[in-house]
Structure 1
């Protein structure tokens, strides 16, 4: 009879511990404070450039690189955001265009 009582007590104790760890106060205590999420958006500076004969957007990006790595489509999107008149035409010599140059900025999250 002692063995059956001891087995029931062990099973009951293990069930209480399982419920407390998975659904109870112990599991919730570790996650009670929400951490501040830091979403760092890349900011860029605009650099006005006078184009030469034969310049392309890719050649301007290679001559004026960014401090951080940005994919070509993202940088091209920023270029056309700054120069919407160039979306359907090619670059002409002597034209002043704005080239986005991404900077490495440190943001503090609190």
Structure 2
């Protein structure tokens, strides 16, 4: 009889702990004030002017100037900044613009 009571008590405690961990002790409580700012992160593009060296490629220049943008987006911005390079290769000594994406400052904080 003692084992049955302990087993039932164990399952009740386990159920209460599970519910508490999944939903929280006060699931409807609001601990943080609502902010008017959106949670969406905004980015802006900056161009860095570089001089092309012999044996440089677009991807080697991207690797030398890191950015937090994925390659396809950065490549599209590269061709927007340098439209003359869509049909020709890089020429050593030429000045080109490399796009770098940076996160805008969050004005909510």
Question: Shared topology, TM-score over 0.5?
Answer: yes
Counterpart position of 1:84: 83
Tell me the number of residue pairs that the alignment of Structure 1 and Structure 2 aligns.
76
Unpaired runs of at least 5, structure 2 = 1-35
Deviation at residue 36 of structure 1 after TM alignment? 5.5
TM-score, with structure 2 as normaliser: 0.60
Q: Kindly report which structure 2 residues correspond to 1:1-110, keeping only aligned pairs within 5 A, or say none.
A: 37-66=38-67, 69-108=68-107
Structure (1 or 2) with the greater helix fraction: 1
Deviation at residue 44 of structure 1 after TM alignment? 1.6
Alpha-carbon distance in 1 for matches of 2:51, 2:92: 8
TM-score, with structure 1 as normaliser: 0.59
Unpaired runs of at least 5, structure 1 = 1-34
Alignment CA distance shift 1:41-1:87 (3 Å): farther
Output the aligned Cα RMSD: 2.3
4+ runs of 1 displaced by more than 4 Å? none
Larger radius of gyration: 1
Alpha-carbon distance in 1 for matches of 2:38, 2:102: 21
Alpha-carbon distance in 2 for matches of 1:92, 1:98: 13
